[in-house]
Amino acid sequence: MKIPPVKGTRDFYPPDMAIHNFIVDGWKKVSLRNGFEEYDGPIFEYLKMYQIKSGDEIVEQLFSLTDRGGRDLALRPEITPTLARMVNQQINALPKPIKWFSVPRLLRAERPQKGRLREFFQWNIDIIGVNQSMADAEIIFTTVDYLRDAGLTPKDIKVRISSRKLLAAVLKSYGVPDEKLEPLYVVLDKKAKLPPETFEQMLSEQVPDKETLNKILEFMSIDSIPELGELIKAESDEFTAYTEIKTVLGSLEIMGVGDYCIYDPSIVRGLAYYTGIVFEVHDAVGDLRAICGGGRYDNLLRDFGGPAISATGMGMGDCVLEILLKERGLLESKIHRRGLDYFITFAEGYGGGTIYKIAAELRSRGFSAAFSYKPKSGLSKQLKEASAQMAKKCLIVGQEYVDKKQLVVKDMATGEQELINVDEFLSQLGARDQ
């Protein structure tokens, strides 16, 4: 009986693992060069921690369990609550600003579909302790820095940036009461995903007043900062939020990624804990789910029992990203395929322990080396095996080794061969291959 993998999970065979490593290595490289430090936490936490952040309905969206001690636990569906818990535990000892990143394996109990699985990896970057808009800009810049590094251009992707603070101020100025904001956010967040008539119908159910409805629709159609500026009055409550988003977009222009970024009021982000700048990265065509999303969440640490402290961050899953990179043909040329530095072969009647000794010596010097496990295999078959394992060079042990301790070194790309004393070869090895 063959047992298949659980639906919504993946088996990473070596070629798949090469792609996974390419993505994760890129995330880590870009995080480090942008000044972030790596952290991680447990794969399971108390269920209550996720309920604090997302409400009781989150229970249906994650894998929960009761342990033998009767404690309600959950496999982590995200790592931001863990981040908040960890920072709160050492809030007075941690130097500010806190710039951390993580690449956790996450699990969510949802229906698998294109770009969304039950088990996935996610890149998270966060800046805690900075209330200036530059922190939001840096989170977005770091995000684009990776995507640009992976080969994606402004023709491939767009960073759509908005502000929950601005949206709240505008809606209140239209007469929308505080208690209506959250359900209205959920509808507004669907604007880009629904046909216009369907969206307008859903919005009218939340906003029955026709004049207010039209004002909201007009605001949601604005697509540039100059146009937004014409709407915002200097003495209004919206002005501060408008200044923040204008500053963020201006900073990104100065940092050289402005052509990736646009203002888009339809980016609302459904999660209730966002308090300021929010953004999502989408493929330019719009065929895929959001590649990533994030924003400012200034109240989360306080909600977890800590102090009120500014925070902003981003999360990028590997599933949609991998689909997009494959569609754009950006993986084949960049994936590091398995290859050996050396494959040690032997002519019939020779070899024995010599090939093991040479292999061990090469490995101890930091080179990858392998040999055939078939002791009676002929030299031609061993050379084919070396080619199959993509060895750069072959070392052939034969009569020359017995007579003069010499090896044949064959370049597998050119076919060129040279005869060299084994001790001389090993002494020159570092200089030759560095």
Same domain, 201 and 249: yes
What tokens does 180 get? Answer: 């209506």
Same domain, 227 and 269: yes
What's residue 350's pLDDT? Answer: 65
Enter the DSSP assignment of 113: B
Same domain, 89 and 21: yes
Picking from 300, 327, 354, the residue at the C-terminal end of a domain is: 327
Residues 6+ apart with CB under 8 A from 104: 40, 41, 76, 79, 121, 122, 124
On the question of pLDDT at 57 being above 90, the answer is: no
Same domain, 192 and 98: yes
- One-character DSSP codes across 340-397: -SEEEEE-TT--THHHHHHHHHHHHTT--EEE-S-TT--HHHHHHHHHHTT-SEEEEE
Q: What confidence tens digit (pLDDT) does each residue in 60-84 have?
A: 889 999 999 999 999 999 999 999 9
**How many C-beta atoms surround the C-beta of residue 73 within 10 A?**
18
| Residue 261 belongs to some domain of the structure | yes
pTM, 2 dp: 0.89
230-239, 280-289, 307-316, 326-335: which has the minimum mean pLDDT?
230-239
pLDDT band for position 423 (50/70/90)?
confident
CATH at residue 173: 3.30.930.10
On the question of pLDDT at 351 being above 70, the answer is: no
Q: Which amino acid is at 148?
A: R
What's residue 431's pLDDT? Answer: 46
Picking from 267, 300, 327, the residue at the C-terminal end of a domain is: 327
On the question of pLDDT at 215 being above 50, the answer is: yes
pLDDT cut 90: percent of the chain above it: 58
| Residue 251 belongs to some domain of the structure | yes
pLDDT band for position 433 (50/70/90)?
very low
**How many C-beta atoms surround the C-beta of residue 7 within 10 A?**
9
Same domain, 292 and 174: yes
Contact between 206 and 180 under an 8 Å Cβ cutoff? The reply is: yes
The residue written with tokens 């993986």 in the block is: 331
Q: Please give the residue that has the higher pLDDT: either 349 or 173.
A: 173
Residues 6+ apart with CB under 8 A from 413: 392
Residues 6+ apart with CB under 8 A from 176: 184, 207, 212
- On average, the pLDDT of the chain sits at 90
Give the structural domain span for 350: 342-433
pLDDT band for position 432 (50/70/90)?
very low
Checking DSSP bridges between strand 369-371 and strand 342-346, what pairing results, if any? parallel
What tokens does 412 get? Answer: 């597998």
Same domain, 158 and 203: yes
Average confidence (pLDDT) over 17-24: 94
Q: Using alpha carbons, select from 303, 307, 252 the residue that is nearest to residue 279.
A: 252
What's residue 80's pLDDT? Answer: 93
| Residue 56 belongs to some domain of the structure | no
Q: Please give the residue that has the higher pLDDT: either 293 or 429.
A: 293
Picking from 327, 359, 390, the residue at the C-terminal end of a domain is: 327
Same domain, 206 and 114: yes
Enter the DSSP assignment of 5: P
Same domain, 89 and 207: yes
pLDDT cut 70: percent of the chain above it: 96
Q: What confidence tens digit (pLDDT) does each residue in 92-126 have?
A: 999 999 999 999 999 999 888 888 899 999 999 99
Same domain, 277 and 204: yes
What's residue 375's pLDDT? Answer: 67
Same domain, 379 and 233: no
| Residue 400 belongs to some domain of the structure | yes
pLDDT band for position 402 (50/70/90)?
confident
The number of domains in the chain is 2
Average confidence (pLDDT) over 189-216: 88
Residues 6+ apart with CB under 8 A from 4: none
Q: What confidence tens digit (pLDDT) does each residue in 371-399 have?
A: 988 867 788 899 999 999 999 999 998 88
Same domain, 173 and 292: yes
What's residue 182's pLDDT? Answer: 85
Backbone angles phi, psi at 34, to 5 degrees: -100, 10
Same domain, 153 and 236: yes
Average confidence (pLDDT) over 339-366: 85
| Residue 158 belongs to some domain of the structure | yes
What's residue 271's pLDDT? Answer: 66
Q: Please give the residue that has the higher pLDDT: either 79 or 286.
A: 79
